[in-house]
């Protein structure tokens, strides 16, 4: 595990200020549909991280499938020590550049979430692939790993997933569910509309 130096510590940063900082980050330059690379919009990322901060969950966090790093970097801006795990080297280079742009230290590990292990995590934050494409193997491997790694998990899923999630994570329990929508810009050829709203749910899962 890397050591973290020169991190700003700002647990009091307002949600809107965080959102503005996250708006300055780069998105995926060549998003892979196979890996379901959809970047979390800054507003949703800031909301997830603020909820985690309010619950006192942002100590050492892991961002599984960190993509361009928005959740890990946002957590670091709020004072967390953050490690991102990502399978795609191109996304990792964006995440590293983004961390430098934001002026925070984030540890990025290349690997498949199903085969990594990280010690002493206080929370996992993630926007996993929803499972539409087989290559990503969907949210199951992410959920399974997340509840093994940390006592608290924040995770974004398709609306209507609650029954599945409750069953899948048991005996861990769903503590809260927030509902919202995710604007998705047309980024893959199979998208028919320029922009669509995807209904999503944000879960707080408690493992102990």
What is the contact surface with ligand SAH in residues (CB under 6 A)? Answer: 35-40, 65-68, 70-71, 85-88, 91, 112-113, 127, 129, 136-137
CB of 32 to ligand SAH, least distance (A): 6
CB of 158 to ligand SAH, least distance (A): 13
CB of 1 to ligand SAH, least distance (A): 18
When the beta carbons of 173 and 198 are compared against ligand SAH, the nearer one is 198
When the beta carbons of 5 and 45 are compared against ligand SAH, the nearer one is 45
CB of 76 to ligand SAH, least distance (A): 14
When the beta carbons of 49 and 152 are compared against ligand SAH, the nearer one is 49
Other residues' Cβ atoms within 10 Å of the Cβ of residue 159:
14
CB of 90 to ligand SAH, least distance (A): 9
Q: Are 122 and 151 in contact (CB under 8 A)?
A: yes
When the beta carbons of 65 and 79 are compared against ligand SAH, the nearer one is 65
When the beta carbons of 60 and 127 are compared against ligand SAH, the nearer one is 127
Q: What is the 3-state secondary structure (H, E, C) of the chain?
A: CCCCCCCCCCCCCCHHHHHHHHHCCCCCCCCCCCCCCCCCCHHHHHHHHHHHHHCCCCCEEEEECCCCCHHHHHHHHCCCEEEEEECCHHHHHHHHHHHHHHCCCCEEEECCHHHCCCCCCCEEEECCCCCCCHHHCHHHHHHHHHHHHCCEEEEEEECCCHHHHHHHHCCCEEEEEEEEEEEEECCCCCCCCCEEEEEEEEEEEECC
CB of 11 to ligand SAH, least distance (A): 21
When the beta carbons of 72 and 169 are compared against ligand SAH, the nearer one is 72
Residue 129 is encoded by which pair of tokens?
């692939």
């Amino acid at each position: 595990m890397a050591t973290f130096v020169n991190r700003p510590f700002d647990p009091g940063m307002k949600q809107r200020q965080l959102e503005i900082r996250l708006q300055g980050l780069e998105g995926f330059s060549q998003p892979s549909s196979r890996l379901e690379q959809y970047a979390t919009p800054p507003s949703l990322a800031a909301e997830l991280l603020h909820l985690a901060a309010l619950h006192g969950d942002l100590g050492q966090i892991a961002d599984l499938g960190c993509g361009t790093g928005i959740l890990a970097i946002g957590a670091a801006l709020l004072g967390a020590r953050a490690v991102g795990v990502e399978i795609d080297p191109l996304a990792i280079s964006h995440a590293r550049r983004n961390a430098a742009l934001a002026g925070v230290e984030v540890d990025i590990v290349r690997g498949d979430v199903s085969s990594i292990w990280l010690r002493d995590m206080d929370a996992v934050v993630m926007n996993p692939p929803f499972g539409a494409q087989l290559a990503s193997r969907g949210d199951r491997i992410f959920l399974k790993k997340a509840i093994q790694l940390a006592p608290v998990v924040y995770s974004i899923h398709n609306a209507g997933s609650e029954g599945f999630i409750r069953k899948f994570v048991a005996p861990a329990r769903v503590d809260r569910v927030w509902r919202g929508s995710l604007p998705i810009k047309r980024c893959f050829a199979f998208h028919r509309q320029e922009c669509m709203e995807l209904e999503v749910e944000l879960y707080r899962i408690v493992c102990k």
